[in-house]
Structure 1
Amino acid sequence: MAEKYNHTQQAPVHHTQQAPVERHSRNGEESNTYQFKDEIKREKRIKMYKYIGAFIVFQIIVFTVFGLTVVKVKTPKVRLGAIDIQSLNSVPATPSFDASFTTQIRVKNPNWGPFKFDASIATFSYQGVTLGQVLIQKSKAKMRSTKKIGVTVNLNSKALPSSSNLGSELKSGVLTLRSQAKLSGKVEIMSVTKKKKSAQMDCAIVFDLSKKAIQGMECE
């Protein structure tokens, strides 16, 4: 009976000695687990901060490009298109001439928004004297496009004073006229920005009287 009693007393002693080791092992594993989780969280935070920084830089670049290209409003241009002569008659001895032709008023809008312009007049003159006019109706040129307005022009020299150089110019076989126009309106960017702009035209048109054709045209 003494041997059985001693044997049963040794078993609890054996388990009592192993318990601290197991607890220490579990504590070590839990500590490593927490450190691993903290490391993952730290890496996620770093990645998140990198993404936020990259996004901010991207937004700055976008707004900078937007401000330099889109929001910056440029002045539209208005020019004459190709001229198709219907009739061209001249009498150097009188002197007198009359002309009829078709052309286009071209409004070029380089902006990222429409250019809405009011009605205006295009004049055709000789040495500062108006010989004819055409109406440019109220309209708009869409963003980054050219609005083409077809017109028919009828001119004659009746308004010129007798002191003009018309006679000598008609004898040379070349006649130079000028065409001018001003279009006033607003450029609208993304329905937010509206800026007043005026497009101006000043073209010199050279007629070849013998060939009844256009010798050249230059617009400013």
Structure 2
Amino acid sequence: MAEKISDETPNPETINDESPNPLAPSNDEESITAHSKDQNRKKQMTCLLYIILFAVFQTGIILLFVLVFMRMTNPKFRVRSGSFIDTFNVGTEASPSFDLRMNTQFMVKNTNFGRFKYKDGTVTFAYKGIPVGNAMIEKGRVGARSTKKVDVVVKLRSNGLSLNTRDNELGSDISSGVLPLTSSVKLKGKIHLMEVIKMKKYAQMNCSMEIDINSRTLGNIICE
């Protein structure tokens, strides 16, 4: 007995409905894409933050440079005090002269944020513009925003004065009991900041003072 062969053909719509759609994205693919976008966004934000921080840092460095380096000033060098211990010989109005030995204290004041290194220098003491004594200042250093005291013994003698100056001016000053003097020097050096920046500066002195003959003291010290 022959088998009956079905002549029914399959419905194309039914076949299409049962087949999976290869173009439809799965949930895993969507999750990976979203995560990747989130990571990229975070990287961009981090990069932007670093750029902002670097810009702020650079601005701070520039401000520090302007406030510290550009405003560096010359240190001050002054006569602070003086005393006479052993030699104090002063003539008379009729025979004017002087031979003094003064223990002088100088002051170097540095107001900068870097230390000041200075070279050797010679302080010149003068009477009426004529040198009467010298003080040798050895090279040294002053810390940042600090003051250093330097003690030097100075010999003051009237040997170099002209006869006219002695008779007319020195005699009159001895009679009044006051010897006016001036001191001057220019100490050359450099301001050292953070061992990187070095700027040439100098400490200049222009002082006037008076020696009281009767009390044997140095006073009325005025420095520019």
Task: State yes or no: 1:172 paired with 2:176.
Answer: yes
Task: State yes or no: 1:136 paired with 2:140.
Answer: no
CA distance in 2, matches of 1:76, 1:130: 25
The residue number in structure 2 matching 1:212 is 216
Q: 1:185 aligns with which of 180, 189, 193?
A: 189
The residue number in structure 2 matching 1:154 is 155
Counterpart amino acid of 1:130?
P
TM-score (normalised: structure 1):
0.74
SS class of match (1:82): strand
After TM superposition, the structure 1 stretch with the greater mean CA deviation from structure 2, 32-41 or 125-134, is 32-41
TM-score (normalised: structure 2):
0.73
**Residues 71, 189 of structure 1: 8 Å contact kept:** no
Q: Deviations over 1:75-109 (max 9, x none)?
A: 22221222223254433332223322212232333
Q: Deviations over 1:29-49 (max 9, x none)?
A: 763674366346525532541
Q: Kindly tell me: are residues 43 and 195 of structure 1, through their superposed partners in 2, closer, same or farther at Cα, counting changes over 3 Å?
A: closer
The residue number in structure 1 matching 2:126 is 125
**Residues 187, 196 of structure 1: 8 Å contact kept:** yes
Q: For residues 21-40 of structure 1, what are the structure 2 equivalents within 5 Å?
A: 27=26, 31=30, 34-35=33-34, 38-39=37-38
Alignment RMSD, CA only? 3.1
- Unaligned 5+ residue runs, structure 1? 1-12
**Residues 81, 218 of structure 2: 8 Å contact kept:** no
SS class of match (1:188): strand
Q: Deviations over 1:29-73 (max 9, x none)?
A: 763674366346525532541343133222222233124313654
